[in-house]
Structures are given as structure tokens and as C-alpha cells.
Amino acid sequence: MSTQPTTSQPTLPARPRRGLGRDSMVRIATAVIIIGLWEFFGRQANPLLVAVPTDVLVATWDLAKTGELFAATGQSMLAFGVGFAVAAAIGMLIGVLMGVNRTVEVALDPYINALYSMPLIALVPILMLWVGIGFTAKVIIIALFAVFPVIINTLAGVRNVEKNYLDIGKAFGAGAWMSFCRIVLPSATPYIASGMRLAVSRGIIAMIVAEFLTSIAGLGGLIINYTNQFETAKAFVPVFVLAIIGNVLTAIVRVVEDRLGAWR
């Protein structure tokens, strides 16, 4: 009775895993040091100008207990969500059109570059004259700030498709539409996700600018109102809420971006 020879499969080296526990400890230690220094030196300053972390924590509880913090957060996130969705849809559409059609790119490229490089806050007073100071104005301002990273990254993604993939698609009889759906769009998706991540931060900035200058509502309204009343601790609360929201949204988009990049 003969036995078949066995061949051993080569073992691939394990991917080095980042020390998540160590990273978490470093972040926690850094936060503790910063908060401790803030608490110590903040008590040496004028309480009307600087609030210490313990006062901010008490103010957070007070605003949460009355429901004011949740209502303001809901108002801000509703405007941000609508504005960001509009920016994502318009940005991807324009970016794809510019990437697949040379005429569209030549026609729109100077204006995209000009608007992206200029301080868009200068347009806010004009938008207020056109659309008022309500919810619509906030959505337009957020979309205007957030749309350009999506356009530019989508255009870069469509442009950087491997020509070999397109040639293989043509060899197998793929038409223009199938090549776009099966090759161009999947290849550009990581670029689009990267543009979305950049758009999140610009959208949050635009949301606060809009609330400062238009309706004085939401989290930006809380900052303005409590700063005017010299209640510094309560004014710091929405600032930290915005920081948390920004980190959470950026982390979500980054996870999607990493998964799409790995798939590519």
C-alpha cells in the first residue's frame, strides 16, 4: 500500500498588528495630562474667561438635564446631514462627469479651483440675502463648503483608473456603461471615500459658521448665547460635543475608506 507524498504549504508571515492596547493607554494618558493641566492652570485664571473641566462637566449635566443640549445637537445634525448628503450627491456627479468628459472638465475646472481656494465664508452674507437665515441657508452653506473635496477626489479617482483594466474590459466586449459600472466606479470608490472624509470636517466647520451668522440655533447658537452671557462653562459644552461628533464621523468614514482601499 503506497502513500501519496504530501507537500507542505508555505506559511505566510503574520501581518504585524498594531498595539491597540498601547495606543489606547497613550491616548488616555495624554487626555489625563491635558485635563489635569487645564484644571490646574484654569483655576488661576479669570473664571469669566476660562472654565475648568469640572465646571464644564457640571454644565454638561445641566444642559443635558434640561434637554437643551440634545435639542441643539439634533438641530445641528439635521442641517449637517442634509447638507452633507447634497454635497456628496452633487460632488460625485460633477466629479464623474469631469472625469469621463474632457469638455465638461475644461468648462468647470477653473471655477472649481477658484471656489475651492477662496474663503467661502465671504459668500455667506450674499447667501443670506438670497435665501434668508433659516434652515435652507444652513444646508446650502454646509453643501457649499463640503462639495469641493468630493468633486476633486472623485475626479482623481476616475482619472487614475488602471488602463490595463479598461483594455481587458474591452477585450471581453464590455461597453462604455459596463466599463464604467464594473471598472471605473469601483476603482474610484476609495478616492471618493477619502473625499468624503475631508468633506466631513469642512461640513462641520460650515455648520458652525452658518449657525453663528444665520439662525443662531443649534450648537453654534449655544456657543454664541452662553458666551454673550459670560457663562463660559456652558459655552465650552457644545465645543466638546462638536469635537466628539467630528471624531466619530471621521472614524466612520475612515473605516469605510480602509475597507474599500483593502478591497481595491
User: How confident is the model over 76-128, as pLDDT tens digits?
Assistant: 899 999 999 999 999 989 988 888 888 888 888 888 888 888 777 878 888 88
**From CA 90, how far away is CA 239, in angstroms rounded?**
29
Burial of residue 167, with CB atoms counted within 10 A of its CB: 0-12 exposed, 13-18 middle, 19 or more buried = exposed
Q: What is the pLDDT of residue 264?
A: 56
Q: What is the pLDDT of residue 147?
A: 92
**From CA 152, how far away is CA 168, in angstroms rounded?**
27
Residue 9 has pLDDT above 90, yes or no: no
Of the given ranges (31-45, 139-153, 235-249), which has the lowest mean pLDDT? 31-45
DSSP 14: P
**Span 20-47, mean pLDDT?**
76
Q: CATH assignment of 54-263?
A: 1.10.3720.10
Q: What is the pLDDT of residue 135?
A: 83
pTM attached to this predicted model: 0.77
